[in-house]
A and B are shown apart, each in its own frame.
Chain A
Amino acid sequence: MQRSKTRTAREPRLNFRPPARLDLWAITLSISIVAGTIAPPLAMALILASVVVCAGALLWRDLVPQGWRPMAVLLPLFTIAGAGIAYVHATTPDPLAELAAVEPGEVIIVGKVASPPTPVSYGYMADVRVEHLWYDGHEILRGGGVEVFAGDLNLGVGDRIRVDGEISLPDSSGGDFDYGRYLATKRISAVVNATYVRPMGGKGWIGQVHRRTDVALGYGLHPDEVAVVRGMVLGDRSLIPEELDTAFQRSGITHVLAISGQHVAVLAAMIYFLLRALAVPVMIRSPLTLGLIWLYILIAGVPPSALRAGVVATFVLAAPIFNRQLAPLHFMTTMLAAVLAYNPLLIYNSGFQLSVAAVFGILLLRKPIQALLKSTLFRPFAKPPETVSNLLAISLSAQVATTPIIAATFDQVSVIGVLTNLIAVPISGPILTLGLLGVIAGNVAPFLAYPINACNGFLVTILEFTARGASAMPFATVATPGISLPLIGLFFLGCVPAAIAEFSFPEERWPLWAALLLAWTTGWLLLIGATNG
Chain B
Amino acid sequence: MANSNFDTTTRRRDTDPQKSLADFFRHHLPQIVVSALVVAVLAGGALYASRASETAPHVVYSVSLNQIQQDVQQPLLVNINTADAEELDELPQVGPSTAETIIQYREANGLFRSVSELEEVPGIGPATLEEIKPFATI
Q: Which residues of A contact B (CB under 8 A)?
A: 14-16, 20, 22, 25, 29, 58-59, 61, 69-70, 73-74, 77-78, 81, 84-85, 88-89, 92, 94-96, 98-99, 102-105, 129-130, 135-136, 138-145, 187, 189, 337-338, 341-343
Asked if A14 and B30 make an inter-chain contact with CB atoms under 8 angstroms apart, the answer reads yes
- Cβ of B49 to closest chain A Cβ, rounded Å: 5
Q: CB-nearest residue of chain B relative to A143?
A: B57
Asked if A342 and B55 make an inter-chain contact with CB atoms under 8 angstroms apart, the answer reads no
Residues of B within 8 A of A74 (CB): 31-32, 35
Asked if A89 and B68 make an inter-chain contact with CB atoms under 8 angstroms apart, the answer reads no
Residues of B within 8 A of A61 (CB): 20
Q: CB-nearest residue of chain A relative to B42?
A: A341
CA distance A78 to B42 in the complex (A): 11
Asked if A129 and B32 make an inter-chain contact with CB atoms under 8 angstroms apart, the answer reads no
- Cβ of A202 to closest chain B Cβ, rounded Å: 19
A140/B59 contact (C-beta < 8 A), A85-B42, A85-B46 known: yes
Residue of B17, B21, B43, B53 touching A88 (CB-CB under 8 A): B43
Residue of B21, B28, B59, B72 touching A20 (CB-CB under 8 A): B28
The reply on B54 being an interface residue by CB < 8 A is yes
Residues of B within 8 A of A145 (CB): 55
Question: Interface readout for B7-44 with A: 1 if CB under 8 Å, 0 if not?
Answer: 00000000001001100100010111011101100110
* 17 extra A-B contacts, CB within 8 A, seeds A140-B63, A143-B53: A14-B34, A16-B31, A29-B39, A74-B32, A77-B35, A77-B39, A85-B42, A88-B46, A88-B50, A89-B49, A95-B58, A95-B59, A96-B57, A105-B72, A130-B57, A141-B59, A343-B49
Q: CB-nearest residue of chain B relative to A71?
A: B31
Asked if B46 and A138 make an inter-chain contact with CB atoms under 8 angstroms apart, the answer reads no
CA distance A25 to B21 in the complex (A): 21
Asked if A341 and B45 make an inter-chain contact with CB atoms under 8 angstroms apart, the answer reads yes
Asked if B63 and A22 make an inter-chain contact with CB atoms under 8 angstroms apart, the answer reads no
Residues of A within 8 A of B30 (CB): 14-15
CA distance A59 to B65 in the complex (A): 55
CA distance A203 to B17 in the complex (A): 68
Asked if A140 and B42 make an inter-chain contact with CB atoms under 8 angstroms apart, the answer reads no
CA distance A89 to B56 in the complex (A): 11
Residues of A within 8 A of B50 (CB): 88-89, 92
CA distance A409 to B94 in the complex (A): 52
The reply on B60 being an interface residue by CB < 8 A is yes
Residues of B within 8 A of A342 (CB): 45-46, 49
Asked if B34 and A69 make an inter-chain contact with CB atoms under 8 angstroms apart, the answer reads no
Residue of B21, B36, B60, B68 touching A104 (CB-CB under 8 A): B68
CA distance A301 to B35 in the complex (A): 32
- Cβ of B6 to closest chain A Cβ, rounded Å: 15
A338/B63 contact (C-beta < 8 A), A74-B35, A144-B55, A189-B57 known: no
User: For chain B, what secondary structure do more than half of its interface residues adopt (helix, strand, loop), or is it mixed?
Assistant: helix
Asked if A77 and B36 make an inter-chain contact with CB atoms under 8 angstroms apart, the answer reads yes
CA distance A352 to B3 in the complex (A): 54
- Cβ of A111 to closest chain B Cβ, rounded Å: 10
Asked if A142 and B31 make an inter-chain contact with CB atoms under 8 angstroms apart, the answer reads no
Asked if A25 and B65 make an inter-chain contact with CB atoms under 8 angstroms apart, the answer reads no
- Cβ of B3 to closest chain A Cβ, rounded Å: 15
Sort A-B residue pairs by CB-CB distance and give the 7 closest, nearest first.
Answer: A144-B57, A96-B57, A341-B42, A92-B50, A81-B39, A187-B55, A85-B46
Show 26 A/B contacts (Cβ-Cβ < 8 Å), sorted by A: A14-B30, A16-B31, A20-B31, A29-B39, A59-B17, A61-B20, A69-B24, A70-B28, A70-B32, A73-B28, A81-B39, A84-B43, A85-B42, A85-B43, A88-B47, A94-B57, A102-B68, A105-B72, A135-B68, A138-B61, A138-B63, A140-B59, A141-B57, A142-B58, A338-B45, A341-B46
Residue of A29, A59, A92, A104 touching B56 (CB-CB under 8 A): A92
Asked if A78 and B39 make an inter-chain contact with CB atoms under 8 angstroms apart, the answer reads yes
Asked if B56 and A140 make an inter-chain contact with CB atoms under 8 angstroms apart, the answer reads no
The reply on B69 being an interface residue by CB < 8 A is yes
Q: CB-nearest residue of chain B relative to A343?
A: B49
CA distance A15 to B27 in the complex (A): 12
Residues of A within 8 A of B38 (CB): 25
CA distance A95 to B56 in the complex (A): 9
- Cβ of A12 to closest chain B Cβ, rounded Å: 11
CA distance A476 to B36 in the complex (A): 50
CA distance A115 to B32 in the complex (A): 42
Residue picked from A129, A136, A141, most chain B C-beta under 10 Å: A141
- Cβ of A320 to closest chain B Cβ, rounded Å: 20
Residues of B within 8 A of A89 (CB): 46, 49-50
Residues of A within 8 A of B58 (CB): 95, 141-143
A338/B60 contact (C-beta < 8 A), A22-B35, A88-B50 known: no
CA distance A61 to B59 in the complex (A): 53
CA distance A187 to B57 in the complex (A): 10
Asked if A338 and B42 make an inter-chain contact with CB atoms under 8 angstroms apart, the answer reads yes
Asked if B55 and A341 make an inter-chain contact with CB atoms under 8 angstroms apart, the answer reads no
